Every structure is written in C-alpha cells, then in structure tokens.
Amino acid sequence: MPDATAEQGRQRVVLTGLGAVSCIGVGAEELLQGLSQGRSGARPITAFDTAGFDHAVGCEVTDFDAGKHLRTLDPASLGRAARFSVAAARMAVADAGLTDAELAALPGLVSVGTTDGESRDLDRLVEQGLAGGPEAMDPEVAARASVASISAAIAREFGLADVEAVTVPTACAAGNYAIGNGFDAIRAGEVDFALCGGADAMCRKTFTGFYRLGTIAPEVCAPFDVDRSGILTGEGAGILVLESLESALRRGARIYAEVLGYGLNCDAHHPVAPHQESVADCMRLALEDAGVKPSEVDFISAHGTGTRANDVTEARAIRDVYGESPPRTVSVKSMLGHTMGAASALAAIGCVLAITRGFIPPTINHRTTDPEVALDCVPNEAVRADLRIVQNNGLAFGGNNSVVIFGRYDA
C-alpha cells in the first residue's frame, strides 16, 4: 500500500470492527453472505400505511430485535434509527475485540451520518397531532426524536465520557462523511478510536417525497440497466471501528483493511441533480488524499441509485477520471435498496468484506446495460477477484459528494 501517510508523520488508519443492520442480514457475516449471493431485500412495505400509492415496495429490516444487542439502554427509549446505530456499534466493538471498559478509558469519536434522523417518529407525532391536536402527541416519542441521539446514544450505551459524538446530516453521502471524520481524527492523533458510519429508518416522509418525484421503482431496483425504473427506499445501519495501525498491532487486533484517504465537496449545483464535474472532482480529491493512481483501483462501489439522473451522471464522471476502461463498478443498492444516510456506510462494509474475502458483489436485477452508462457492473452474480484498492462513492441531494478509498492491509 502507498505509505505517504507515514512519510508525512501521520498515523495510518485501519478498520478492526464491523457492525451491520440490513434488509439482507443483521451482522457483518450475514451481510457478507447476502452480498456474495446477490440476495434481494425487496418486499412490500409494512412500516406505514401505503394506501393510495400505486406501488409500495421497499427494503425493510424485518428480523431485527434491538433487545438482543443493547446492554445498557432501553430500546423503547430510542427511535428506530438510533436502535440500528447502537446495535451496529455493539456488533462492531465486539468484532474489534474491545471491551466497554477499554473504550471508556480512551479518547474517541462517534460520528454517524443520517438523512432522516428519527423521521419515523416525527411521522407518528404529526399523525397524532393531526388526529387530536398537540396534546395528543406522545411525550415519550417526542423525547426520542432528536437527530443527535443517533450518535449520542452510542456514547451512552458504552458509557463513553471522553468522546465527541457527532451526527452528520449530509443526507445520502453522510456515511462516507462520518468515516472521513474518523479517519482525520485518528490520522492526526486526536483520538485513539472512532466509531463511524450511518443509520436511517424507513419513513413515510421520505418514501412520499421520492414517490412525488417519480423516482420510486414499482418492484425492483436495477441500477445501470437500460430499463431501470428508480430507487427502492430502505433502512439499516453500518458502523466501523477505526484505530491507528500502531494501536491495532499493539493489541493484536484483526485488521480488515486500511483507510487510505477520502474526498468531500459540495457544488450546490441543484437541489436533487448530481453534477458530473463535481462528482469527478470528488473522486480525484479522494485518490490524491490516498496517494493512489486511478490505474491502481480494482473496483468501484458506486452510489448507483437506479435513476437515470444518477447512473448516467456518475458513470460519465467515472470515465472522466478513469478513462474509457474504468474498473468494474457495482451498486449494492440493487440488493439493499437506498438506505439513505446508512447507504455509503453499508457499502463501505461491503468494500472491506470484498477486499478480505476476495470477491466483487454483483449488481442484481440486471438485463441490459444502458449504453449511456457502459460500465461492467458485474451483473447478477458475484465474481472472485484479488482486490488491493477499492473506491466507495456517496452522492447526495444538495450537491454533497463523498468518496473513500480503502486498501488491503498486507502485514
């Protein structure tokens, strides 16, 4: 791996723990099985009343019991997104081989991205208010609706008194933003560990918004396909444990991969449309920060929503950076749906598992590649691959772009 970080006197940053809540599996190992098998999480939505919508398929998490994961906090005191984030953090910390006492004794960072916060609870409060006025709103639901709880609840669950707990609201790019936050803090030696990722719960507000935009697919999400019909909203959480290479080696931790660098930008070009030049610039920023040449990247996990506006723009931006023979480029949203603030965090976990297990996950529901996209999207079946460097894209409304570069750690 490139070692520009060491040359510049900064710490190398590695990933030692993974936690995932997704519609195709709870836990990193279950997520791995789902991604490698090309499993679809699409099913009829049950999270809210869908009467009046012509179609209502989404990617809900249906086999999740927060009580199996939380040890300190009462799940009823948390909104669904915070339950996801705390459960994923519990899994990640256990996977990293860290105890609560060890974490509590160290300076750290908790950084979790989100799009909707606790909008499912806000939906419920609005419903109660419309039916019976403000006095009908449930105070317990109101108390847990703060977006800050998505990260602060992790600190409370582990009893962390020497941490900064940040909720990053950069929408669908937020998971990568959060990982970038942790990478900076570890690289600069400001903290000893970082719990980073993203979380969101399916809600009526976001489904309705995308529906009104005409971007909800009737049945399946088919990124890069000429007959794609849009996104499926989803939910879940992904949390990763970041620490310095020195720390991981000292305590004999398993190292999944190294965070090599990242890039962020905001073009403010359009409320909902991505901007090709800006997306390409963000990729260049990430590659430069990582000290990686485009020719060294083995595959790209695209934002890949399944809308024409995203897929064509993102594909053109990739070719702007990589030329006419870009790396294989996949969209895990074809399986997970669009999990909003959790999207790039879950995709990051997918990238890391791909590096360690030697495969590239597929883009499912694929028939014919859109000629305007013209990427090898690994249609329908995973392929074996020896991966050294992978790129994870996250794009968001408002022109927020985030790209993280991961590398294999060779001892």
- Catalogue the active-site residues: 172, 303, 338
Q: In the block, which residue shows the tokens 């980073």?
A: 196
Contacting residues for 55 by C-beta, under 8 A, at least 6 apart: 216, 217, 218, 219
State how far the Cα of 144 lies from the Cα of 119, in Å rounded to an integer: 11
Pair type for strands 108-113 and 57-58:
unpaired
Q: Which pair of structure tokens corresponds to residue 156?
A: 């409370």
3-state secondary structure of 242: strand
Q: Which pair of structure tokens corresponds to residue 18?
A: 């993974």
Residue 362 burial (C-beta neighbours within 10 Å; 0-12, 13-18, 19+): buried
Per DSSP, the residues of 60-97 read: ---S--GGGT-SSS-GGGS-HHHHHHHHHHHHHHHHHT
For 118-154, letters b (16+ CB in 10 Å) and e give bbbbbbbbeebeeeeeeeebeeebeebbbbebbbbbb
Pair type for strands 383-384 and 13-22:
unpaired
Q: Which pair of structure tokens corresponds to residue 100?
A: 């609560």
State how far the Cα of 56 lies from the Cα of 218, in Å rounded to an integer: 7
Q: Which pair of structure tokens corresponds to residue 347?
A: 């995709």
Residue 248: name the closest of 90, 408, 28, 411 by CA.
411
Residues 364/380, Cβ–Cβ less than 8 Å:
yes
Rg (C-alpha) for the chain, rounded Å, is: 20
Per DSSP, the residues of 295-314 read: GG--EEE----S-HHHHHHH
Residues 336/390, Cβ–Cβ less than 8 Å:
no
How long is the chain? 411
